[in-house]
Structure 1
């Protein structure tokens, strides 16, 4: 007697169909229809396999894979689906199973609605054509969705499943993010700790010791589903990579950043990183958690090498002190017989004698740098800085002109992109031929490329003018802010000092030359 496995599948795209036969696509109706068909043919039903909310291109469908395993074990000799597309929309899988493995395993495939039947040798070409049509359908759907999503990204609408840590989706307005007060406190603390000299490893350890759940665990605790349920995620543990990712995330500036990764193909889940110039970045889409000045200072600190004290916290001058003779980095020593910490030249070698020690007590160097900073802020020529700021009036005119040109270009680019979207829909709906689509799209693409190149040039020009203006203004504000400094901090060091050089101490005079290269 023939034993049949019934397989049903429903995907999101089926669920969203607004057609008269929508009910017939439901899982339960598929089951009822196929069970009736099997009984009419006198087949014994071995098992019903059902995948809800799965794409026909996804080969990780749990019930589908269970059915394939049972098929290989020869638990049944017929697979019954509503159609070939319910089984798979992947042409490669059609050939692999329907035309290769199923015949070897002695299994017949039957598609009720489209008359697909591997026992009928005459309709093999029909099945292959159906396979191609199903795959083309998926490709068209994928392209259509991409066009729609890209439009939303350009408009600053958030299309992700869950908001980034510290932000959440606005329940009142689709596509908008709002601050998550509870998580935002942790984000602000991470930035402040890093400015205070804590490394990413130390911050992660501190949070783990305090029992603060990591972003993944936080989402789970707040009722969100998380597919990447790793052991670390279940434990809720922080790590240095997570902390660093948060420190580099421009979303905390109120900028909508999307399109950072891209799927290699509509048939694959693998994603590849995209160059930053291809990201979708829209400013002012949501409230900022971190101010621009803090964020930029943290980015400067991230790119500099800072040696930890073994506990995850570098000293305030870490990465800034160099040997005056060989220009190598000075490294820290903590002698066991001394309560002081020292810096010495990193190129000291007893055998080769590449350089001499240039030893200096760290606390004494930090005290000297603080005194020099106070003098710097006290004696800086604010009048000269004000003269620089007065030049901004001329820069401002240039920036306004560039803004006007950039706005016009953005409008033209948006019009061309909308035209391409309409053109694509005309092609999908059969209103124009593929040749017409190709010719018109080629023309639009050429125009878009020229507009984008012009916009890049103007953006670069504006960036130069704006950076001059901003640098003068911010410098004056920062000097006023730190004028009465009493404690040396990593943030003020990174903001105003390029590097410090330490010379060899004179044995006769007992003097040691210390020089500071200021950033401004």
Structure 2
């Protein structure tokens, strides 16, 4: 008996789900004619064949490698994939798993089909993209929408005089248009985007897609003319084709790439204008003035602004060791750099006005406080003792659960062994048929699955053992790490080692004016890992810093790993 899996797919929301049922129906009919047994049906709804990141398609691959069927049946090869690289890789994986791929259109799939059909499918996608782009361009040049919906507008609903539904057209949303006018008027009058966003959030005005207002949402970027204050649709000019999308081959996701300005298409749509020309010009003049001021500050007299900007875009700035780890203790929002002196403040307070934490802290002050806290405050004996006690209890409970589960699986496997033995005896005596032989194979398959589950359960986890001089070892590691952070040669490796120890650094407003309280939150398992690494033989601080994180010291905890489910440790700095 040949076990077969059916795969079906359709790619567009505009298509009907009936397409899946039709594909499965004709595949079942083919399997019945061949005498195959359909064991599973996999179907992806409204997902393009240009991407391999389809849930059911990936499950199909996993089950095929697990040996759950011998044949994959689909209506056509392009149902499985339209990408040359993906279909070639899929064919290789199925060949390795000894699974035959058969389609109703092409028959049994070979390397020849993969090459020819893969090329045809790729050309189809390219041709489809070109035709879609051409159709959208024609719609835009005729005054229609090319896709996307800006704040201040909504999709127009209704019927045309001939009775056909209106599609691809927008109209002004009166309530949102009033907010747009208010933003432009305030900005043209000198109010900053940050203060505008704060006022709107304080009044409870929902932003685009129901989110919060931010300064960056209003400003956007000058190069692609993004951001509410740069949207020319508000003065009745639709700009289309500013960017294109290409697929990243490593992730399968689309990535935006800017088009040259000569490729942009601008059409007049005066009926969609929200802002008058005078207010628009005042706002754009202020945006240009602000941009020139920023560029002048970032350029030197000896170097042209454009060249310096291009060079800065290609230089990788050194990473601050605590970047992305510092958060507000009140709202848990990220802390952002405020001003040229490197002060950190709550982004939700600064950008949105949705937090009350107005305290700031210098970056140069925060890092030393964190390092001192790591050295002096973390590995308190009572803290380590409580952690180990809890961990041992968790290990013992997990071992008991693992043992009970393994015992149950062993009982099931023994039962299946007896059933298989009895059926084989009946077949030997001439009492069995094809159905009984098929049942034996099914029982054997279930027995193999149980064996895999038993093996996956693993061995009992050993009880952790602490090094007798754990705090002193750990303190020396942090001191070596501190020295390595100050060395340009080892700073990057030391930064990664430090970040591996910390989950978050929370900054709270203190009781007195200007005072802040800092709490460090981390996984104690990671700290104990760091302390358990063997001493660096050369005694060199840089080498010791590189050993801070990266392996499990047997002297500390033989089976301890980060993320074991314990609450993170938090202490004040």
Structure with larger RCO (C-alpha < 8 A, sep 6+): 1
- What is the TM-score of this pair, normalised by structure 1? 0.49
- What is the TM-score of this pair, normalised by structure 2? 0.44
